[in-house]
Amino acid sequence: MSSHWVRIQRPLFCAALLAIVIAVYSNHFGNGFHFDDWHTVQYNPAIRTLSNFWRFFSDAATFSIVPANQSWRPLVTTSLALDYVLGGGLKPFWFHISTFLWFLVQLVLIYGLALHIFERTRPDPNNWRLAWLATALYGLHPACAETVNYIVQRGDLYVALGIVACVATYARAPRLRRYGLYLAPALAGMLAKPPGLIFAPILVAYILLFDRRQAKSGLPGRREPLASCAIRAIPATVLALVFVTLEEVMTPASFVPYHGPALPYLITQPYVALRYFRSFFLPLHLSADTDLRAFDTPWNGPALAGFAFLALLIVAIVFAARTREWRPVAFGLSWFVLGLIPTSMYPLADVENDHRMFLPFVGLSIAVVWTAVLLLRRTGHWTRLSAAAVTVAILAAFAWGTFLRNEVWRTDETLWADVTRKSPNNPRGFMGYGAALLARGEVDLAYRSYQRAAMLKPDDARLESSLGTVAGALCRDTEAASHFQRAIELAPHDAWSYIGYGRWLSARGDTALALQVYRNAYEQNAFTLLSSYGMMDALARQSEWEGLRGVVNDLLNLAPGDSMALAYSHLAANPAVEPSETERRASSQPSPQNYLVLSLIYDRAGLYEESIRAAKKVLELEPGSPWGRSQLVDAWSALSRKACLNR
Please check whether residue 114 is in contact with residue 131, taking contact to mean a CB–CB distance below 8 angstroms: yes
Beta-sheet strands, E only, within 559-604: none
Residues 6+ apart with CB under 8 A from 64: 36, 39, 40, 44, 70, 71
| The predicted structure's pLDDT at residue 6 | 56
User: Three-class SS of residue 385?
Assistant: helix
**What are the tens digits of pLDDT across the range 238-249?**
999 999 999 999
Q: Is residue 321 part of a domain?
A: yes
- Provide the pLDDT confidence category of residue 214 given band limits of 50, 70 and 90: low
Residue type at position 564: M
Considering the chain, what percentage of its residues have pLDDT values greater than 70?
A: 97
**What are the tens digits of pLDDT across the range 581-634?**
889 999 999 999 999 999 999 998 889 999 999 999 999 999 999 999 999 999
| The predicted structure's pLDDT at residue 4 | 61
Q: Is residue 146 part of a domain?
A: yes
Higher confidence at residue 470 or residue 496?
470
Q: Is residue 88 part of a domain?
A: no
| The predicted structure's pLDDT at residue 530 | 84
Q: Give the range among 191-205, 220-234, 562-576 with minimum mean pLDDT.
A: 220-234
| The predicted structure's pLDDT at residue 46 | 94
**Alpha-carbon torsion, ordered 616, 622, 626, 631, to 10 deg:** -30
| The predicted structure's pLDDT at residue 8 | 78
Dihedral sign for Cα atoms in the order 21, 22, 26, 30: positive
| The predicted structure's pLDDT at residue 5 | 59
Q: What is the pTM of this model?
A: 0.94
- Provide the pLDDT confidence category of residue 379 given band limits of 50, 70 and 90: confident
Q: Which uninterrupted H or E stretch holds 300?
A: none
Please check whether residue 551 is in contact with residue 563, taking contact to mean a CB–CB distance below 8 angstroms: no
Q: Is residue 198 part of a domain?
A: yes
- Please write down the long-range contacts of 262-265, taking CB distance under 8 Å and 24 or more positions apart: 262/347, 264/294, 264/295, 264/296, 265/294, 265/347, 265/348, 265/351
Q: Is residue 250 part of a domain?
A: yes
What's the number of domains the chain is made of?
1
Measured CA to CA, the distance from residue 331 to residue 491 in angstroms comes to 48
| The predicted structure's pLDDT at residue 284 | 92
**What are the tens digits of pLDDT across the range 501-530?**
998 998 888 988 999 999 888 887 655 688
Mean pLDDT of 200-206: 95
Please check whether residue 392 is in contact with residue 140, taking contact to mean a CB–CB distance below 8 angstroms: no
User: Three-class SS of residue 570?
Assistant: helix
Q: Is residue 594 part of a domain?
A: no
DSSP 17-33: HHHHHHHHTTTSTT---
Residue type at position 156: D
Q: Is residue 152 part of a domain?
A: yes
CA distances from 195 to 30, 182, 258 (A): 29, 18, 16
Mean pLDDT of 205-230: 72
| The predicted structure's pLDDT at residue 64 | 93
Domain span holding position 110: 3-28+99-254+276-408
| The predicted structure's pLDDT at residue 381 | 79
Residue type at position 373: V
Dihedral sign for Cα atoms in the order 480, 486, 489, 491: negative
Q: Is residue 12 part of a domain?
A: yes
